[in-house]
């Protein structure tokens, strides 16, 4: 009995310790928001337009994200109309993301290393920036991504199917994890995986599909068929800036093929789905599929949880690395995936590698908002070439460790 009491006191002490850490973190983030007061409502010009004109998303107007990624911000804007409610929502999602990440890492490595790596993510400037100044789906999409990987590690097909579906309804890329999961599972597990994935998507999508199926489906089609942006493929295509003026304003109102009938897009417009070098699209897609399937097949041959996690993470990472579309917020899932595939490194080397990635992403962010406190200006070429080199080094080291 005394042992049970001791264990109970120990658990309460641990929970209290991490709860205090979370409260301290949240207080710091709120302080940063109050200090800088970023114009977070400026991102919600489409919500203002829809609200002021009595329109409905996915029926009268196409937003830039699927329903779970967009509608929470819309409802917060309608209900409160202030930045504070949006930041609190972002912060709650960030907290959930850090909690599930810590739980995943704690089951794969030591408690101390899990704390260090979770704090590295928590204090990534891009996560903080996203939380206090961006009403976008990226924080929630990151949560579903980590949760899906957690269930892949646990070999839980229902959990993977639900997480991937909710992720897909937030931001499309989460559905990619269904491929390594499908190869990993067998028999009835595959049935559970696919049926749970499809059931959730159909259930959530049904109201919008019944009202205007074309409007709803093209929300996903427009996302998946964007032109090159800020990736190595964009540089080859001669595009050196953030995605063009036409996104998301015109993209939300009319269909791309209708707009193309009256306007010839430039290579800085989202509507330019026909690239200057069309073969780049096929090169990108071929590389994505090849490495995605390669690492997915590897995950099927792994026996240990950490090996399954690493190969599933490599499969997801390959999709992002060879994607023609990139922006600073895409670095958040990439950063977490890099953590998961480098878990065999010594902590000091792993954290040093993560700091290098963090630095590159901050330089990338500076290309959105040109200039640095030191007055040094970097081009997008520096960012993409440095990122490609660093990812290559990480993958080489991972291959050596995995034998």
Q: Give pLDDT, residue 266.
A: 66
Q: Is the bond preceding 248 in cis, omega lying within 30 degrees of 0?
A: yes
CA count, 13 A, side-chain hemisphere, 280: 22
Q: Which of 14, 32, 42 lies closest to 91, judged by CA?
A: 32
Q: Give pLDDT, residue 364.
A: 87
Q: Give pLDDT, residue 5.
A: 59
The one-character DSSP state at 374 is: T
The one-character DSSP state at 50 is: H
Strand extents, DSSP E, 88-146: none
Q: Which of 6, 156, 163, 40 lies closest to 96, judged by CA?
A: 163
Residue 199 Cα distances to 110, 351, 399, angstroms? 37, 40, 37
Q: Where are the domains of the chain?
A: 10-402
Residue 201 Cα distances to 164, 195, 270, angstroms? 10, 10, 26
Provide the whole-model pTM. Answer: 0.91
In 183-213, which positions are buried (b, 16+ CB within 10 angstroms) versus exposed (e)? bbbeeebbebbbebbeebbeebbeebeeeee
Burial class from Cβ neighbours inside 10 Å (0-12, 13-18, 19+) for residue 105 reads: buried
CB atoms within 10 A of CB 74: 18
- Cβ contact 305:94 at 8 Å: no
Q: Give pLDDT, residue 49.
A: 87
What is the C-alpha separation between 119 and 382, in angstroms, rounded?
A: 27
- Cβ contact 255:289 at 8 Å: no
Per-residue pLDDT of the chain (403 residues; tens, 9 = 90+): 455 555 466 555 656 777 888 999 999 999 999 999 998 998 888 888 888 898 899 988 888 789 999 999 999 999 999 999 999 999 999 999 999 999 999 999 999 999 999 999 999 999 999 999 999 899 999 999 999 999 999 999 999 999 999 999 999 999 999 999 999 999 999 999 999 999 999 999 999 999 999 889 888 877 666 667 788 888 887 766 666 555 555 566 666 667 667 777 666 666 565 667 778 888 888 999 999 999 999 877 777 889 899 999 999 999 999 988 888 888 999 999 999 999 989 999 999 999 999 999 888 888 877 665 566 677 788 888 999 999 999 988 887 776 6
The sign of the CA dihedral 77, 367, 231, 139 is negative
Q: What is the DSSP string of 141-195?
A: HHHHHHHHHHHHHTT-HHHHHHHHHHHHTT-GGGGGGHHHHHHH--THHHHHHHH
- Cβ contact 126:331 at 8 Å: yes
What is the C-alpha separation between 78 and 44, in angstroms, rounded?
A: 11
Q: Give pLDDT, residue 329.
A: 86
Bridge partners of 325?
229, 230
Give, to the nearest 10 degrees, the angle between helix 83-106 and helix 331-341. Answer: 10
The one-character DSSP state at 270 is: T
Residue 330 Cα distances to 304, 325, 336, 337, angstroms? 29, 9, 11, 11
């Amino acid at each position: 009995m005394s042992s049970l009491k001791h264990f109970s006191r120990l658990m309460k002490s641990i929970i209290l310790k991490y709860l205090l850490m979370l409260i301290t973190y949240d207080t710091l983030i709120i302080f940063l928001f109050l200090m800088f007061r970023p114009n977070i409502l400026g991102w919600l010009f489409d919500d203002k337009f829809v609200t002021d004109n009595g329109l409905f998303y996915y029926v009268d107007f196409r937003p830039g994200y699927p329903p779970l990624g967009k509608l929470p911000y819309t409802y917060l804007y309608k209900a409160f109309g202030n930045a504070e409610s949006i930041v609190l929502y972002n912060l709650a999602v960030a907290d959930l993301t850090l909690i599930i990440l810590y739980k995943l890492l704690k089951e794969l490595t030591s408690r101390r290393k899990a704390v260090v790596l979770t704090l590295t993510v928590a204090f990534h400037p891009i996560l903080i920036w996203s939380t206090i100044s961006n009403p976008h789906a990226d924080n929630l999409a990151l949560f579903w991504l980590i949760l899906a990987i957690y269930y892949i590690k646990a070999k839980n097909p229902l959990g993977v199917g639900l997480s991937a579906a909710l992720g897909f309804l937030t931001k499309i890329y989460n559905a990619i994890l269904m491929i390594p999961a499908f190869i990993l599972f067998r028999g009835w597990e595959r049935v559970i995986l696919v049926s749970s994935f499809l059931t959730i998507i159909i259930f959530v999508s049904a109201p919008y599909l019944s009202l205007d199926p074309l409007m709803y489906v093209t929300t996903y089609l427009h996302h998946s068929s964007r032109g090159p942006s800020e990736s190595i493929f964009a540089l080859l295509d001669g595009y050196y800036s953030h995605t063009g003026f036409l996104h998301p304003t015109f993209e939300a109102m009319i269909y791309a093929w209708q707009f193309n009938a009256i306007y010839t897009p430039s290579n800085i417009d989202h509507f330019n789905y026909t690239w200057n070098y069309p073969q780049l699209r096929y090169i990108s897609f071929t590389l994505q599929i090849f490495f995605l399937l390669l690492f997915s097949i590897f995950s099927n041959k792994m026996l240990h949880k950490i090996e399954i996690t690493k190969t599933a993470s490599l499969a997801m990472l390959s999709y992002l690395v060879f994607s023609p579309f990139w922006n600073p917020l895409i670095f958040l899932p990439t950063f977490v995936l890099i953590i998961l595939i480098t878990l065999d490194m010594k902590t000091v080397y792993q954290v040093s590698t993560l700091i290098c990635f963090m630095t590159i992403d901050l330089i990338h962010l500076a290309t959105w908002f040109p200039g640095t406190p030191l007055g040094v200006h970097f081009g997008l070429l520096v960012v993409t070439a440095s990122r490609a080199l660093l990812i290559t080094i990480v993958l080489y080291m991972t291959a050596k460790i995995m034998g």
